[in-house]
Amino acid sequence: MCSYMVVAVMVPRFPLLVAALRARRPLDGPVALAAPPGEPPLVGLCTPAAAAQGVEPGLRVGEALARCPALQLVPPDPDAAAEAGERLLGRLEDLGAAVEPGMPGTACFVADGLVRLAGGLHRLLRLARAALPVGAGGSVGAAPGRFCALEAAREAPPAQPLVIRSGDVRNFLAPLPVDRLPLPADAVAALHELGLRSIGQVAALPRAAALERLGFAGLAAWRLARGEDGEPLRSRHPPQLLEAVFRFPEPVGALPALEEAARLALSELAALARARTRAPRALTLRARLEGDGSWSRSFTLREATADPARLAAAALPSLAQITAPVEELRARADVLGPLDGHQLTLVTTGIDERRARAGEEVRQVRSALGPAGVMRAVEIEPWSRRPERRWALVPYDASAHPGS
């Protein structure tokens, strides 16, 4: 049994909530997330009104519309969801909590060290609930251990935190469906075939029977069913985020133009990191798409680096997945590693010198004339006879063209 109290906050259907608010769609109607650009046309998260008419995640769009003709699809917006999730984590950290992020809109933290500062557990839970987005239907739960706290938040009544004391954990978990346990789908199906429908029935299994039916990987879930959740929380280190943004005058869908804009943003990002004498280890590209929706991809670098060419090599291939015109491109990095992880050369090469001088000249021109002060032409439709369609002006990146 866990000896410390864990607080869990949960905002159900968080990515759908964010996307629907940005698209100005009512959350009390039948609304569901559309498939991301370039992926099969499957329905994502849906509102309770849509679920009541038979819509569920994973359905093909045609079948979902046949079940619910009034269904409204909203494009996913992972960029906005990530920003909203970061704001939620930041508000919890402002309470003094060491937060462990979970699924989008979900987080946990240990309450023991904050109870006295907050003036009691219930006062702390009210502060945690106040950190949730207004009107989002979020809930708060507290229990000894992560798993039980998350289930308490899931089962908490509206506007009222649910607290499970150490002696009540097994009784609270017993009637919950077995699907709540962190088990693969085939293991859950096997339990259903045995007639085990509730967590309490799993907890009643002898250890040997649980090992036989669930395997070694399922023993942890069996222990959770018995209220034995002693695994410590893995609180995050608040990120030291750097960000570079490029906004297109008009939406752009041509891959060469997107690559040039991404190189410029990554070069600016690398310069910001070098100014802090640090190097990025985690990198995210985000694109605001024309109309509604966004695209986002994250990368974990093999080693921290502030070299724009290496950042571009890791991130640029993913731009081919964007299937809609882009209004804005963002490059964001979490600065983690030391700037100089390798031995440097004693003599600066000629190309490095030209790159440094060209970059300084471009920065001076842009400071005087603005971001559009230095541009270069990129061929995007070689087959077109119209110059305005064949070529596009994109920002000039001195680091990628040091000698030109």
Hey, where are the domains in the chain?
Answer: 11-144+154-162, 172-225, 241-395
pLDDT at site 65:
93
Compute the residue count for the chain.
404
* CATH entry 1.10.3470 includes domain 172-225: no
- The answer to whether the beta carbons of residues 101 and 89 sit under 8 Å apart is yes
Q: Which fold has domain 11-144+154-162?
A: MutS, DNA mismatch repair protein, domain I (3.40.1170)
Q: What distance in Å separates the CA atoms of residue 175 and residue 155, rounded to the nearest whole number?
A: 12
175-184 core/surface letters (b: 16 or more CB in 10 A; e: else): ebebebbebe
pLDDT of residue 237: 80
The two tokens of residue 238 are 């608040």
Asked: is 241-395 a CATH 3.30.1490.100 domain? The reply is yes
Predicted local confidence at residue 343, as pLDDT: 44
pTM above 0.85, yes or no: no
Q: What is the pLDDT of residue 371?
A: 62
- What's the Cα-to-Cα distance from 97 to each of 9, 112, 114, 137, 381, rounded to whole Å? 12, 10, 7, 22, 53
Question: Residue 340's pLDDT is what?
Answer: 56
- Least Cα distance to 229 among 147, 106, 143 occurs for 147
- pLDDT given at position 339: 65
Which residue in the block uniquely carries the two structure tokens 């090992």?
211
Rounded CA gap, 77 and 320, in Å?
A: 18
Residue-level pLDDT at 221: 86
In order along its 404 residues, the chain shows pLDDT tens digits of 566 899 999 999 999 999 988 888 888 889 999 988 778 889 999 999 999 999 999 999 999 999 999 999 998 888 888 889 989 999 999 988 899 999 989 999 999 889 888 889 999 999 999 999 887 789 999 999 899 999 999 999 878 899 999 889 999 999 999 999 888 888 888 888 888 899 999 888 888 888 887 777 778 888 888 888 878 888 888 777 788 888 888 888 888 888 888 988 898 888 888 888 888 888 889 888 887 778 888 888 888 888 888 888 888 998 888 888 888 999 988 777 776 554 444 555 566 667 666 766 776 676 666 666 777 776 666 666 677 666 666 666 655 554 44
